[in-house]
Amino acid sequence: MLTRRSLLAGLGAVARAQVQPPNILLLISDDQRPDTIGALGNRIIQTPHLDRLAGDGAAFTRATCANPLCVPSRAELISGATGFRNGVPDGGRLKEGLALWPEVFRRHGYDTAYCGKWHHDGRPRDKGFTAAPGLYVGGGGRFAKPATDWNGREVTGYRGWLFETEDGRQQPELGVGLTPDISERIAGAACSYLGQARTKPFFLQVSFTAPHDPLLFPPGFERTYDPGKIPLPPNFLPEHPFDHGNLRGRDELLMPFPRNPKDVREELACYYAVLTHMDREIGRILQALRAAGQAENTVVIFTSDNGLAIGSHGLRGKQNLYEHSIGVPLIVRGPGVARGTRSDALCYLRDLFPTACDFAGIRPPDTVQGQSLRPFLTGRPHPSRQEIYGSFRDAQRMIRTDRWKLIWYPKIGREQLFDLRNDPHEVRDRIADRRLAPLASDLRTRLRAWLRAEGDPVVA
């Protein structure tokens, strides 16, 4: 029987839900090409849960990480500032005094939690996270043993990484290094967190290791993809035509030289399998969100820290400024977000911090250089950027407009110019086209001016 007391209690719950700011669920993959989601154009890969997320929300088709390396990319995301301003243009520690995403949300009444791969200095609590279930970190080298990837090649990354409890106890019993089931462990920790009772809104960041190397087939996914049916990247090359600054770096040594179609297709088959497994685990997390009754009042953001080559332009790794590596998938679903929309607005990962602030009604800190993407998500008129910029160590710099991209290689005095509208896969370098010399000069001038303003030592 509905009593007056229960009616008032119900109305009070509704009122609280109406005034409580939205939760923020940030899902991040690791080294995921922007062209690896079924709903966004990949006809081979199976990503049903990300497809549904894109159908229920909005996708940005030209999102950029700005620096295609894990540490500096994640530093931009957590700080909302460029690597030249946050102190992490390559690696190292975030500058003291920066206002960081989790700390800002914690100060505004949010529970803040972190699950999965930690790729900043210090520990999550140092950065404003009040909980860290399922934390995956380095420091377990003494437990590491020789290992091989799916193809029997020696593992050269993440050999001593392992899970830790929130009080810092290492858990080698859960596996050392990347394991085939690691996405399940990370998602399990996130689901447990979402199942907890709480009175405050939450900001939960879930950082998967997938599909970073070493690639290992998840159990039951060994035959998900037939390599013979996977098309080569449209910009496949046996070798990159020149030394771009990382030609024989660790990532490039993960595949033999010259690249050949068979190796690339087989690598992609495992890469896709790891992504499909991660997609299944994302589905578990989204189901846990629904079971907790929080789905309608949660902004869900899915993205990656950078892309990857895997045969594109003769490369394997991410350390380049081509679209397959500087680009990232970006999907947002939440209250007020127009369903099934696509935006080609030029945007960065560092825009996600002020975007979350916009949804939560929080004023972004002055140190944040990113811009809120909420207007694009909710249909409000908003001017988009005219250009974006990218960098990799001291070897590469980039400016990209809606149509054109200029890449500068300062160490070797070389440039490339691509017409992205007519050559989206960057196959035809137009830098030697005399008719485009005025355009190249303008882009060059704008690029150097921006770099000087940011304090880039390459142009100092």
Report all structural domains of the chain as residue ranges with CATH numbers, in order of start: 21-384 (3.40.720.10), 394-460 (3.30.1120.10)
At 348 the pLDDT is 98
Question: Under DSSP, is residue 353 helix (H, G, I), strand (E, B) or coil?
Answer: helix
Give the pair of three-digit tokens for residue 179: 């394991």
Strand order in the sheet with 404-409: 387-392, 396-401, 404-409, 414-419
Grade residue 383 by pLDDT with cuts at 50, 70 and 90.
confident
To the nearest whole number, what is the mean pLDDT of the chain? 95
User: Who wins on pLDDT, 381 or 272?
Assistant: 272
C-alpha to C-alpha distance for 313 and 324, rounded to whole angstroms: 10
**What's residue 460's pLDDT?**
80
Cβ atoms within 10 Å, residue 277: 25
Cα 87 to Cα 92, 442, 459, distances in angstroms: 7, 29, 17
**Intra-chain end-to-end CA distance of the chain, in Å:** 75
What integer is the mean pLDDT of 261-274? 98
Cα(190)–Cα(194) distance, integer angstroms? 6
| pLDDT band, very low/low/confident/very high, at 36 (cuts 50, 70, 90) | very high
pLDDT, tens digit (0-9, with 9 covering 90-100), for 144-203 = 999 999 999 999 999 999 999 989 999 999 999 999 999 999 999 999 999 999 999 999
Tell me the average pLDDT across 124-135: 97
Cα–Cα distance for residue pair 408/438, rounded to 1 Å = 16
Structure confidence by residue, pLDDT tens digits, 317-357 = 999 999 999 999 999 999 999 999 999 999 999 999 999 99
* % of the chain beyond a pLDDT of 70: 96
Angstrom distance (rounded) from CA 392 to CA 397? 7
**Residue 307: its pLDDT value, please?**
98
Strands 330-333 and 347-348: unpaired
Look at residue 255 and tell me whether its pLDDT is greater than 50: yes
pLDDT band at 380 (very low <50, low <70, confident <90, very high): confident
